[in-house]
A and B are shown apart, each in its own frame.
Chain A
């Protein structure tokens, strides 16, 4: 697949442990955030989203936390599995009403069996 993992921060996690992937954003006016997962050779896939009027949102095995004070977003993956190995991107909607997303550079998650 495409070598999109070069030059990326890497997080290595033991199978079964929890993973925390962090993302800093720059625009305090951003009102919507999304986490995407990208496996090798594939396009990014939607994982979970959160609006700026929320602090936390939970999905299946994933939780997104938003700290607007420090402009920080995190993705928590519970009981990490080998299938979670991928590059994870955060994305923000910097202009309300716009459908343009700005993406972070990504973090590569490697799960150790």
Chain B
């Protein structure tokens, strides 16, 4: 998707290992989000950021941490991966407050498998 890149696109990792997923944007948007998508659950918010070094938890934040040291990068870390964290992870960005459009732009996703 234009302006937002997720890496890696696919990853297989072992239980107990740390994993970091990266989201990079070139749109200079203030807000960034990490979602996970699982069958039967839809998209669920893990963490979000409303500025550099400003982050907050979403509804399924346990087992995850995030960091945002630059406007363009938002990292999601699984400190010790578990099989329940096997999922497709999406990053999204949105405009600064005051803009009429609230909608998100999503990345293409990262498929993570924990074995």
Q: B-contacting residues of A (Cβ < 8 Å)? A: 2-8, 32, 34, 36, 41-46, 49, 89, 93, 97, 99-106
Contacts and interface: CB of A to CB of B under 8 A. Distances in A.
B102 A2 contact: no
A43 B108 contact: yes
B90 interface: yes
Interface residues of B, number: 30
A89 B111 contact: no
Nearest to A47: B103
B1 A43 contact: yes
Given A2-B37, A2-B111, A100-B48, A44 B43 contact: yes
A14 B88 CA distance: 30
A34 B106 CA distance: 14
Interface in B69-115: 88, 90, 92, 94, 97, 101-109, 111
B106 A45 contact: yes
A44 B106 contact: yes
B45 interface: yes
Q: Among the interface residues B43, B88, B92, B108, which one has the most CB atoms of the partner chain A within 10 A? A: B43
Nearest to B90: A43
A32 to B, nearest CB: 6
A48 to B, nearest CB: 9
Contacts of A46: 103-105
A103 B39 contact: no
B106 A49 contact: no
Nearest to A104: B42
Contact of A44 (B40, B41, B90, B102): B90
